[in-house]
Amino acid sequence: MPSDVDKEKDEKKKSKKSKLLHNQSPLSPVDGEEKNEIQLEEEIVHHCIPEDKTESEASNPLQTPELKSTIKCNCGNPNCTLNAVIGWHEESAEFEVIKRKYIIKKHQRQKYKGSVCGKIVVAPGPDKLAVGGEFSAQMGVEVAYDKFVNHMPLERQTKDMKNAGLLVTVKTLYGLTEHIYNHLLPIPNMIRSEILSQPWLGIDESPMKFFNPKVAKGYVWSISNNYGAFYQFEPTRSGAVARELLKGYHGNVISDAYKGYDWLDKKTDVVHIYCWNHVRSNFFTAKGNYPKAGDIVLLIDDLFGIEHEAKSFEELKELRLDKSKKKIEEIEAAIDALAGKHLESSSIGTAISYFNCRRPRLKLFIDDPYIPLSNNGSEQAQRDPVMGRNNFLYFRSINGADVGMLFYTLFGSCKRIGVNGKTYLLVQTIKAIRGEKLETPYQYGIRLREEISKGVTQELQTLKEQTPSSP
């Protein structure tokens, strides 16, 4: 029988699999709605034992043999036959893939002639991504999704298209993404406003090469929280970019220890928070040579474990004031016990110094449940640009980088909200073509939730009306 200690460990492991409150989507699920896995299309293929293969069957091994009620048995007894038991099967499953194919749609717009006025009227055509364009909005979305989510360079996409029978150039594919960019240009600033309206956000940056004779490297900057992610490309790592991104913000900002964020310490309307995961990382690096550092890593892991226990921000506030506060005291005592015993240049000395220099701002989270414990969410927001630079190497121009930032913002925000990025992008592109009001991923998710809730309510009402009342 497992002990109480083992059960407690299992519960902690289960709780850590769930997202921290600060990383959860602000969209609560519809009442009674469960998050189901995508259901694949299912095809039933019957396999029967052929009695005697005909010449045509032998030449076509993929042809399914016809079911015969009885066939000869090969047991050796000439009177023995195999009788098909209807409804009995040995069943197994395999996943199949249907190759992507490209088709040409010929749109024939019917013409009409007035019987009296003689005026010619033409039926409306499809929603064009570009006037006179040959490619659909759906194809433009596929190209953008493959590049900025699946990290497939446009050059590689052209090769796949050629193998499928479509000859197209890199310039053409880039043109498709640029058309979508022009249609959806207002949305990133709408997302930025939603992020800035929340009590906390994280900020981070990562290098990105771009083809420029004078400056060979730029930076992808991002601000993010559970309402979305906003990206901006700049050819500099100056803290002035951070000032621009956070202009007008009043709240909690969590970051790493990059000096470009030091100006936040002097702001009266912003609370600058440091990341506990960076503290842990320093002690983790040191534990190979200094076992005491490993003990501190375990204490910090316990601190993160407390965060996973909370199911609401109200519960998190109580946990932090009680359990987290005590755990911080343990961590401080363990680090203070090492003070003066190691060279500052050593790995553990560096870890101790890092903690001591940031100690006050590392403890601010205790009194405010809306302050995240780490900057992990912001660093995860940088994952897609970092993966992209490993595949397409660099942006060819500032304009190309701006196009990329729009797609990273839209797809990244969809991930944070929990909506399908490809569907969202297609819906908004069609809305823009038609001149309709655009939505952020959060607004789109709210609308979908309301439509689902309304549909469920109507369906329940219909069932209730159809159910005969008891006598």
Q: 76: number of CA atoms within 13 Å, CB side?
A: 0
- 86 and 209 in a single domain? The answer is no
For tokens 């609308």, what's the residue?
A: 447
pTM of the model: 0.81
Domain-embedded: residue 227: yes
Q: What pLDDT is attached to residue 215?
A: 57
Q: What pLDDT is attached to residue 70?
A: 67
- 215 and 351 in a single domain? The answer is yes
Q: What pLDDT is attached to residue 54?
A: 44
Give every CB contact of residue 82 below 8 A, 6+ residues apart in sequence. 49, 70, 71, 72, 73
Q: What pLDDT is attached to residue 4?
A: 46
Please count the helices (runs of H) and the strands (runs of E) in the chain.
17, 10
Q: Two tokens at 9?
A: 């460990």
- 237 and 378 in a single domain? The answer is yes
Domain-embedded: residue 296: yes
Q: What pLDDT is attached to residue 16?
A: 53
Domain-embedded: residue 229: yes
Residues of the chain under the 50 pLDDT cut: 1-2, 4-8, 11, 14, 30-37, 53-65, 470-471
- 242 and 367 in a single domain? The answer is yes
- 221 and 79 in a single domain? The answer is no
Domain-embedded: residue 277: yes
What is the longest distance spanned by two Cα atoms in the chain?
Answer: 101
Answer with the one of 29, 64, 96 that is the final residue of a domain. Answer: 96
Q: Please tell me the total count of domains within the chain.
A: 2
Q: Are 228 and 217 in contact (CB under 8 A)?
A: no
**DSSP assignments along 329-362, one per residue:** HHHHHHHHTTTTSS-TTSHHHHHHHHHHHHHHHH
Report in angstroms the alpha-carbon separations of 40 from 35, 97, 447: 15, 11, 25
Q: Are 177 and 140 in contact (CB under 8 A)?
A: yes
Q: Are 210 and 396 in contact (CB under 8 A)?
A: yes
Domain-embedded: residue 167: no
Domain-embedded: residue 351: yes
- Rounded Cα gap, residues 239 and 337, in angstroms: 36
Find the helix packing angle between 291-309 and 347-362, rounded to 10°: 30
**Domain, as residue range, for 353:** 198-382
- 214 and 345 in a single domain? The answer is yes
Report in angstroms the alpha-carbon separations of 461 from 119, 451, 465: 49, 15, 6
Helix (H) / strand (E) element for 7: namely helix 4-16
SS3 state of residue 104: coil
53-92 burial, b for 16+ CB within 10 Å, e for fewer? eeeeeeeeeeeeeeeeeebeeeeeeeeeeeeeeeeeeeee
- DSSP at 41: P
Answer with the one of 96, 112, 131 that is the final residue of a domain. Answer: 96
- 358 and 230 in a single domain? The answer is yes
- Rounded Cα gap, residues 183 and 169, in angstroms: 22
**DSSP assignments along 358-407, one per residue:** HHHHHSGGGG-TTS-S-SHHHHHHTHHHHHHHHHH-EESSHHHHHHHHHH
Q: Two tokens at 23?
A: 């990383």
Q: Give the closest residue to 238 by CA, choosing from 264, 260, 261, 217.
A: 260
Domain-embedded: residue 294: yes
SS3 per-residue string spanning 214-233: CCCEEEEEEEEECCEEEEEE
- 220 and 360 in a single domain? The answer is yes
Give every CB contact of residue 31 below 8 A, 6+ residues apart in sequence. 453, 456
- 359 and 240 in a single domain? The answer is yes
402-411 burial, b for 16+ CB within 10 Å, e for fewer? bbbbbbbbbb
Answer with the one of 362, 382, 402 that is the final residue of a domain. Answer: 382
For tokens 């994952």, what's the residue?
A: 383
- 80 and 218 in a single domain? The answer is no
Domain-embedded: residue 38: no
